[in-house]
């Protein structure tokens, strides 16, 4: 994708048509009647929807042309499987289908391999979830999904967990101006007996810090608490904890 040209797969995204809900309803009815021209028009009229979905995956280093094509497959599946008798907006049904197709593509091309049977179970569970969502009008529970599949709840959970894409510890989860909080900032670090020497060194290094900075480092690195837990205990925001922690560590590094 070239951002200055706003072009994906040779398509100028600025010129993509956007259908009204009433137009989608008419076209979906025609599709169910076997109208191929209506199906093509419905696909072209929802390409912006695919484009909006793939924006969620732009930071993964994947080729956007590939993601766009895969997203279009999800869109087509949504069109072919959409139940017009249900009181559900098409986009509400299509977006999870498009996301699921893209995630399936990313998982199948991931270096971490999961057995075919495990993946099949997970994909079946995702399909059952969509069916129950349309039927119940809410997100189904794991128990309901497992019951529909006639499997143990633990087996369904294990299958779904096996295809969850790994998250980088350095992936940002919140940003307040220049204060960015990463995944690793929200993970506690419980110390073991082997780390007692590191604790002594740290205690010596923080002597010259102010009381609040000392408290934050103590809670974070000696007590193994997350930034969120520290923020709640001290009574400040997590962004402030992150900022003070980084400043304190920088002071320690400068003194050593």
pLDDT tens for residues 152-205?
888 888 887 766 655 555 555 555 555 556 555 555 555 444 455 455 555 666
Using DSSP, state whether 8 is helix, strand or coil.
strand
Same-domain status, 104 and 151:
no
CATH code of the domain in which 22 resides: 1.20.120.1810
**DSSP conformation letters of 132-192:** HHHHHSSPPPHHHHHHHHTS-HHHHHHHHHHTSPP--TT-EEEEETTEEEEGGGGS-----
Helix (H) or strand (E) holding 11: strand 11-12
Q: How many residues does the chain have?
A: 256
Q: Which one of 148, 166, 184 terminates a domain?
A: 166
Find, among 179, 140, 145, the residue nearest to 159 by Cα: 145
pLDDT tens for residues 204-252?
666 778 888 888 887 887 777 788 888 888 888 888 888 888 888 887 7
Same-domain status, 129 and 102:
no
Phi, psi (rounded to 5 degrees) for 133: -60, -45
Q: Show the domain range for 236.
A: 172-255
Reply yes or no on whether the pLDDT at 137 is more than 70. Answer: yes
Confidence label for 4 from pLDDT (cuts 50, 70 and 90): very low
How many domains is the chain partitioned into structurally? 3
Query: Whole-number mean pLDDT of the chain?
Result: 76
Give the rounded percent of residues in the chain with a pLDDT score beyond 90. 4
pLDDT tens for residues 31-57?
888 888 989 999 888 888 888 888 888
Question: What pLDDT is recorded for position 30?
Answer: 92
CATH code of the domain in which 158 resides: 1.10.10.10
Same-domain status, 23 and 90:
yes
Same-domain status, 154 and 196:
no
Q: Which one of 141, 166, 191 terminates a domain?
A: 166
End-to-end CA distance of the chain: 47
Q: Residue 36, Cβ neighbours under 10 Å: how many?
A: 9
Strand partners, 213: none
| Interatomic CA distance for residues 15 and 9, integer angstroms | 14
Same-domain status, 125 and 91:
no
């Amino acid at each position: 994708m070239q951002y200055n040209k706003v072009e994906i797969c040779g398509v100028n995204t600025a010129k993509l048509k956007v259908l009204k809900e009433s137009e989608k309803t008419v076209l979906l009815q025609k599709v169910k009647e076997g109208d191929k021209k209506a199906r093509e028009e419905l696909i072209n009229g929802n390409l912006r929807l695919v484009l909006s979905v793939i924006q969620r995956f732009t930071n993964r280093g994947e080729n956007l042309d590939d993601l766009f094509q895969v997203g279009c497959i999800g869109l087509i599946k949504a069109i072919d499987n959409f139940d017009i008798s249900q009181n559900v907006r098409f986009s509400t049904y299509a977006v999870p289908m498009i996301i699921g197709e893209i995630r399936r593509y990313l998982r199948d091309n991931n270096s971490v391999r999961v057995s075919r049977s495990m993946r099949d179970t997970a994909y079946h569970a995702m399909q059952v979830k969509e069916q129950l969502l349309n039927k119940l009008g809410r997100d189904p529970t794991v128990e309901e999904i497992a019951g529909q599949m006639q499997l143990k709840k633990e087996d369904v959970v294990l299958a779904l967990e096996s295809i969850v894409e790994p998250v980088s510890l350095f992936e940002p989860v919140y940003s307040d101006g220049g204060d960015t909080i990463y995944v690793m900032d929200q993970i506690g670090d419980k110390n073991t007996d082997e780390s007692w020497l590191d604790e002594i060194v740290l205690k010596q290094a923080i002597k010259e810090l102010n009381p609040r900075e000392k408290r934050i480092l103590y809670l974070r690195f000696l007590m193994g608490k997350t930034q969120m837990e520290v923020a709640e205990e001290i009574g400040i925001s997590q962004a402030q904890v992150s900022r003070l922690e980084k400043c304190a560590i920088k002071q320690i590094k400068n003194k050593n």
